[in-house]
Amino acid sequence: MRKSICAALLLGCTSPALAADPTEALLRELSEAPGPSGFEEAVRAIMVPRMKPLADDLRYDGLGSVIARQGSSGPRIMLDAHMDELGGVLRRVTPDGFVSMQMLGGWLDQALAGQRWVIIGSKGPVHAVSSIRDIHLAPAEERGALIKRDQVFLDVGARTAGEVAALGIAPGDPVVPDSGFQDLNGTGNYAGKAWDDRVGCAVLLLAMERLKQLGHPNQIFFVATVQEEIGLRGARASSAIVHPDIGIAIEGGVTGDSGGAHPEESQVRLGAGPGVFLFDSSALPNRKLVALIRKVAADAGVPLQVDLVQGYGDDSAEMQTVGGGAPTVNLVVPARYTHVHTGVINRRDFDRTVDLVVALLRRLDARTVAELRDFTP
């Protein structure tokens, strides 16, 4: 009966084994949590209860990033992932009940029209659909044209500005994509929103759990930052507090395997293991740290991909320069379709990234860190 109902509804039913998988449940919870830049409360409410019992100390910076320290001696290692996702805020309500958006983060205009959204209002979530020019009305010359963001409005079903207000929403309220988690046809490829960087948040939590059990020779600062998507702001504030000797950002990477990509844009493939950035538009990694990561990955039997990506920024850029500077690197879980409503990650890539991060942090003892920070000719 259960299978027939699922087939009739054309829904992907969750098997008992998958339902009992705590890692999948964590990824689902983080992906579906609403948290655009500056409005990360729902994500912080997931992170803090899991981090607190694993930490020797937990505090916040002045922007709302979470800083959890594990260990009281040894090198100061900052492991960073950002909690915020792309989204928007309500800008203006029209007399006929439509709402315009101010976008938060690097959206493509073509990703905005004809999508489902959730507005976090004073009375709870309000569902919305972004407007799109109807094909029956658009002249031929407009049908292949880009719909610019200032032509896109949110439809909440209201007919007047008063009806919008009655829903409990107003200018300044946050907006997030409406996109649920799904294991794509049981393949272990997980579809969902906000993998940039909720997948990094999940790596942070599982690495913290494992290192609490295994031990390590460091002071590790597990930092879940805010406002990365609008200028790496949380990482700047947190780095000023932590003063890391080594900085490691954990991010959602960019794959080049989804069709139509130029081979020079990205060489990373889904399912081929974690990645390390050799270049992005915001930072250059420390070369000796990259060499160490290659060795740790090889010793642990973890396949490692490398990439150089234009038009990409990450928190390692702030850890790299704040407080006199530190060797940094950006490690990624490859993700297809970042900065849109629904992206895709691979579960095995995620698990291997956790393995790599744990092995690396256990390798970074005082002598190794001193060698990485030695620039003597």
pLDDT > 50? residue 11: no
What distance in Å separates the CA atoms of residue 89 and residue 54, rounded to the nearest whole number?
34
The token pair that represents 367 in the structure block: 């002598």
Q: Quick: pLDDT tens for 15-72.
A: 444 457 999 999 999 999 999 999 999 999 999 999 999 999 999 999 999 999 999 9
Count of CB atoms situated within 10 Å of the CB of 376 = 3
Q: Quick: pLDDT tens for 305-348.
A: 998 888 788 999 999 998 899 999 999 999 999 999 999 999 99
**Could you tell me where the beta strands, DSSP code E, fall in 235-302?**
246-252, 275-280
Cβ burial of 364 (10 Å; 0-12, 13-18, 19+) is: buried
pLDDT grade for 212, boundaries at 50, 70 and 90: very high
Q: Hey, what domains does the chain have and what are their CATH numbers?
A: 2-85+193-372 (3.40.630.10), 87-177 (2.40.30.40)
Residue 209 catalytic? no
* DSSP H/E element including 93: strand 87-93
What distance in Å separates the CA atoms of residue 245 and residue 368, rounded to the nearest whole number?
11
Query: Of these residues, 24, 40, 85, 228, which one is catalytic?
Result: 228
What distance in Å separates the CA atoms of residue 46 and residue 26, rounded to the nearest whole number?
9
Q: Are 270 and 307 in contact (CB under 8 A)?
A: no
The token pair that represents 155 in the structure block: 């439809």
pLDDT > 70? residue 9: no
